[in-house]
Amino acid sequence: MTARAIAAGVLALAVLAAPAARAQTVRFDVGATPAFEVLAGSGFDDAVAPLELRGAVALAVEDRPLVIGVSLTSPLLEPGIDDFVFETFAEYDLHEDFGWTVRPRLSLAVPTTSNEVFSATGLDVGVGLFGGWSDPIWTLGAEVVGHLGVLSHLRASEWGREYGSLASDAILAGNGYRLEVGARAGLLLGPVEIALRAGWRRRGDYSESPPVYAMLSVGVRWQ
């Protein structure tokens, strides 16, 4: 197997395996910004029971919430420093008042993975759009999210170079994609938010995981 084929497989597992609960669901009240939120989530998205930690701040921009956040995700049953995804994201509510809304999303993720054969670091760009009913108490709607693996840096171990015919150091571009179409729902109980994302997913040719995702998050927000 060539270095390119193995590296592309790495990106399918690492760059495109970032769990999908990475955005706030219930609309932030912009009457007293900035507002803050921290969440933890898990579920199924390429790996069973991934662990995600996320923090976000909401700012008022033209009386609408602009949400900027970061997340750290381990796509394994046992979180490890060698397998994780770091992401930064931004969302903005486009609406005049409480009710139907359209919420675009941009994200940039850096995943890493490592084993006895190679280690890899990638760059993933994401674009999404949420549409539905949203107010400061609950949210229900549909979403479309696309991710593109832009670059990956592959570093082969001594075993990988000797027995796998891998290059010691390689940079690859355009390594894969992920398209998600599903539903997003959330409920705010006092300061506690419960958020759910679930739906259908299409990925590049290197993944054998089922074409579905479902992530449940619980968080606390304050302002």
Its pTM stands at: 0.80
Q: Which fold has domain 3-222?
A: Lipocalin (2.40.128)
Q: What is the pLDDT of residues 88-141, one digit of tens each?
A: 999 998 876 667 888 999 999 998 887 777 788 889 999 999 999 877 788 999
Question: What are the sequence ranges of the domains in the chain?
Answer: 3-222
Phi, psi of 158, rounded to the nearest 5 degrees: -60, -40
Cβ(182)–Cβ(200) below 8 Å? yes
Q: State both tokens at 33.
A: 């910004």
How far apart (Å, rounded) are the C-alpha atoms in residues 40 and 61? 27
- Give bridge partners of residue 93 from the DSSP assignment: none
Q: What is the pLDDT of residues 58-75, one digit of tens each?
A: 998 888 889 999 998 886
